[in-house]
Structures are given as structure tokens and as C-alpha cells.
């Protein structure tokens, strides 16, 4: 006598019950949480990089302004350097403003450069980043007009 096996009512020996499809729901929820976490990390990274770019541009612009022979040349050099470092196509900023303060533009004086940048993020909101840098003009430097 040959015996035939009856088809199993379940997969892996368990009977089907109320948790049919629960794996799909759990996977969908966990995938959404992981994607949200990745998006938050990306936004944090973009914000950090944008802030670092603006700070570096302000510092380099203040240094370039301190090496200029006149106050007008200092403002022009700072503005040119900031717009070179933070271009609209390659940089994080959509709108860049440079303010150069040359009230004490003389030997042993200071030059202050403030860079203001309006950024966009992956989530669509806009932030305004601002960085200020001071640079001392060499006290033994000649040729200042």
C-alpha cells in the first residue's frame, strides 16, 4: 500500500493565522524609517558643508583684503574671492553678499569681512548662513595709501 502525503496547510509546518502579510508591513515600516534616517543625515551633512564653505570663504577674503594696497582694493579683492569660492553653480549658496569693513585700514589696523549666504536644502527650506572674519594688517607693511 502506498501512502500519499497530504498537502501541508502551512508553510514551514505552521498553520496560517492572523499574521499573514505582517512581514510585508514590518518591512515597509522599517524601510521608511531607514530612508528617513538617511535623509536626515544627508541634510545634516549638507548644512555642515555649507557652513564650513562660508566660514572658509570669509577667512580667505579677510586675508586677501588685508594684503590690498587701498581700502577700495580690499573690498574688491574680498568680494572677488568670495564669489570665486562660492559660485552659484558649484557652491551651496543661491545668494551671496560680502560686506568689507575697512574703517581702520592702516598699518596695524584690521579688516573685517562678513559673508552672508542663503542656502537651499534637500528638504526645500532655506537657511541664511553668516560668517565674519577679522584680519590684522601687517604693522610694518609699507605702501599703504
DSSP β-bridge partners for residue 118: 95, 128
Mean pLDDT of all residues in 3-26: 65
Split into its structural domains, the chain has a count of 1
> pLDDT digits over 59-93, tens only?
999 999 999 989 999 999 999 999 988 875 556 78
The answer to whether the beta carbons of residues 109 and 133 sit under 8 Å apart is no
The pLDDT score that the predictor gives to residue 142 is 64
Is 11 a member of any domain?
no
Average pLDDT along the chain: 84
> pLDDT digits over 124-133, tens only?
778 899 999 9
Query: Domain of 62?
Result: 22-136
User: Which of 32-36, 80-84, 116-120, 140-144 is least confident?
Assistant: 140-144
DSSP β-bridge partners for residue 110: 104, 136
Is 75 a member of any domain?
yes
Is 2 a member of any domain?
no
The pLDDT score that the predictor gives to residue 87 is 77
The answer to whether the beta carbons of residues 65 and 102 sit under 8 Å apart is yes
Is 132 a member of any domain?
yes
Is 13 a member of any domain?
no
Is 55 a member of any domain?
yes
**pLDDT surpassing 80 at residue 3:** no
Amino acid at each position: 500500500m502506498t501512502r500519499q502525503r497530504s498537502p501541508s496547510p502551512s508553510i514551514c509546518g505552521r498553520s496560517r493565522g492572523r499574521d499573514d502579510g505582517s512581514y510585508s508591513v514590518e518591512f515597509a515600516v522599517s524601510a521608511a524609517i531607514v530612508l528617513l534616517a538617511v535623509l536626515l543625515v544627508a541634510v545634516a551633512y549638507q548644512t555642515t558643508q555649507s557652513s564650513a564653505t562660508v566660514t572658509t570663504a570669509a577667512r580667505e577674503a579677510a586675508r586677501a583684503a588685508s594684503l590690498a594696497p587701498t581700502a577700495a582694493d580690499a573690498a574688491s579683492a574680498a568680494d572677488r574671492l568670495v564669489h570665486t569660492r562660492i559660485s552659484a553653480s558649484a557652491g551651496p549658496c543661491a545668494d551671496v553678499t560680502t560686506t568689507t569693513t575697512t574703517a581702520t585700514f592702516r598699518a596695524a589696523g584690521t579688516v573685517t569681512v562678513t559673508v552672508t549666504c542663503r542656502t537651499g536644502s534637500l528638504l526645500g527650506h532655506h537657511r541664511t548662513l553668516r560668517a565674519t572674519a577679522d584680519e590684522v594688517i601687517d604693522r610694518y607693511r609699507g605702501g599703504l595709501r
